Structure 1
Amino acid sequence: MTRPHPQIRIRAGHGGMLIRDGVSISFYISHSHQDITQRIEHSLHVFQHAIAPASLDWYCDYEGDYRKLDGAGRMFLEQEFRSTSSAHIHLVNHTNGVGDYEFVYRGQWRENPNDPDASRSLSTVTFWLPTEFLESQGPVAVHELALKLSAGLPFTSGHAGLAFNAQFDLLGVDDLVDRERLRHPGIDVPDESASLHLSNRIRGVHWMNFLGPPVLAELGGVEALHERLKSPDTTVQPLAEGRAVITLGPEPDAGDTTQSPVLPAYRELARVLEPWMYFWGNFRPSWGREAQRRWERRFLD
């Protein structure tokens, strides 16, 4: 790492981590769970190999409780992966607050005859790394891992970069994150509801930005992006099956609104992607619609 990044660690009274800085790698997939099961399992194996000797030893059960990944836990995973409808798998490396390493998969049933909006939902998978991994292994290793994870997934879009890993379901956590996000626009605030509405749109601008069909084709492809993106550290890399990844600099940057300029490469890409950007506007009621709009448009206004 050549640029310092903010260390954000907020603990609850009992010592569990409420909020921490981390690195998220996420992909949005316009396929039902049963069509991508093997690919998701493969991506999990790739991730587990990359983070060793750390391991994902705990899983979240149907009641939302975390349990040791023992024989019963492996049966639970097998049941979820083999489901013919939807699936929800959440693995972590510890249960003392938010994990350092996490795997979160939400497989949708897009053909559900009882849900008229099911076809709009995307299956999503997210891999969490602590920033300590970024610091010890280096941004090149994180970049290569994100590419390896993307290689087996038929994603519509995806992203990788700094993000707040937080227990958003707990009272007061939104307010704590709000204070930090205003200063550091390069740290993403995850939106688990986005997969229900995202469709073919792009969820914000990040360090690594994965584009698939149809957006990449509508943008004119890789060559057109080369022509429109002039920031010296921005790279556009073609991927298999009509996909590409845009990387904004050699490493993720949190940005700092007390300094200038603030993430000019991110702003440039946001202007290019604006017609395809996803703006929800009200996903966190505690922030208010206008505050959320300003956050989503932070690289545009």
Structure 2
Amino acid sequence: MRRSHEDVAPAVWRALQTYQRAIPPKALGWYASPDGDMLPLDEQGWEHTRKKMLERTWGAEWRVSLSEDPGEAGGYHFSYDGRKLDDDLFSRDERATSGVSFSFPTEYLLEHGPAHLRALALDLGRELPFSFGQASLAVVSHPGAWGAVPNDLLGLLHRYWGLDLQDLGETSRNIGTGARGAYWLTFLGQPLLGQLGGLEALRQQLAFPEVTFEPMEDTRWLLTLGEWPDVMDTETGTVPAWYRALARQLAPYLREEHVDWLNLHKGYSHGWSRRLCE
């Protein structure tokens, strides 16, 4: 969201309440304290989080991390990176945004089905003034823990092109009003949708029965690429044509993210974001 924290924080807080109602009770059990320690998310922790998001007026950044388990990757996880975009730190940086993410374990998708998760994603994004958003299968780690990711993760990414690398901090610092790629659920708002030529131009380029378009408020749209998210196992199958078609349309607006924490060779993130554009 290319908006400042004060403009989006109330909507993000409401989306967090929607997320909390949809997941098991106490699924979010820990939060990051001001000194960086992970503390139990009790009533005091929730009040600290609420005040930080809705009442704190000083500063240039607001970071919130709520997780199921402080020692495990994956699972349920809420992350928010809010920024004051007219602050000296960001006023000349067109890449910086305020971003939010909601993570679910794979078991949630398998238990409730793709239609349920798609409807929930719509509810979570309904009030958020996004230019771009996504939902997909992903490798998720806690903020600050990516340095411990094993290098054999690269082998998984090379094989399974439908996996995303989820690091909200990197995305929100670099995406601006651009895109990250084609995903199972791809959310498009302004100005990105207009830069793509508008809805009708996009419909013509994505004339596949597997692709559906659903309107949202304020000329925002949700594109769904198939009934289920596709892991895209390149050793046993091919990349669906509708993913490639959307990726090619988004190619001029893809934004490179810095992934030094994975010890990747220089330029890998650029190549990864464009893997479906061939």
Pick one of 55, 59, 62 that aligns with 1:87. 62
- What's the counterpart of residue 152 of structure 1? 127
Deviation by residue 1:156-184 (Cα, 9 ceiling, x = unmatched)? 11000100013573545151321211110
Cα distance in 1 for partners of 2:152, 2:36 equals 23
Normalising by structure 1, report the TM-score: 0.84
- What's the counterpart of residue 198 of structure 1? 175
Please list, as runs of the form range in 1=range in 2, the aligned pairs for 1:253-264 lying within 5 A after superposition: 253-264=230-241
- What's the counterpart of residue 134 of structure 1? 109
Cα distance in 2 for partners of 1:236, 1:176 equals 37
- CA drift of 1:129 comes to 0.3
Deviation by residue 1:45-79 (Cα, 9 ceiling, x = unmatched)? 00011113353121111232210122431332133
2:74 touches 2:141 (CA, 8 Å); kept in 1? Answer: no
Aligned pairs, number: 273
Letter in 2 for 1:277: L
Q: Percent identity over the alignment?
A: 32
Q: CA 1:120–1:299 in 2, change beyond 3 Å: closer, same or farther?
A: closer
Q: CA 1:120–1:293 in 2, change beyond 3 Å: closer, same or farther?
A: closer
Pick one of 161, 171, 175 that aligns with 1:185. 161
2:252 is aligned with 1:252: no
- CA drift of 1:204 comes to 1.7
- What's the counterpart of residue 97 of structure 1? 72
Cα distance in 2 for partners of 1:258, 1:210 equals 29
Cα distance in 2 for partners of 1:171, 1:276 equals 28
Normalising by structure 2, report the TM-score: 0.90
Q: Which runs of 5+ in 1 are unaligned?
A: 1-28
Cα distance in 1 for partners of 2:11, 2:210 equals 32
Cα distance in 1 for partners of 2:260, 2:222 equals 27
SS of equivalent to 2:137: strand
2:99 touches 2:172 (CA, 8 Å); kept in 1? Answer: yes
2:2 touches 2:96 (CA, 8 Å); kept in 1? Answer: yes
Deviation by residue 1:224-270 (Cα, 9 ceiling, x = unmatched)? 21111023201122221011111110110111111232232211111
Please list, as runs of the form range in 1=range in 2, the aligned pairs for 1:227-238 lying within 5 A after superposition: 227-238=204-215
Q: Which runs of 5+ in 2 are unaligned?
A: none
Between Structure 1 and Structure 2, which shows a larger proportion of strand residues? Answer: 1
- What's the counterpart of residue 219 of structure 1? 196
- What's the counterpart of residue 46 of structure 1? 18
- What's the counterpart of residue 85 of structure 2? 110
2:254 touches 2:273 (CA, 8 Å); kept in 1? Answer: no
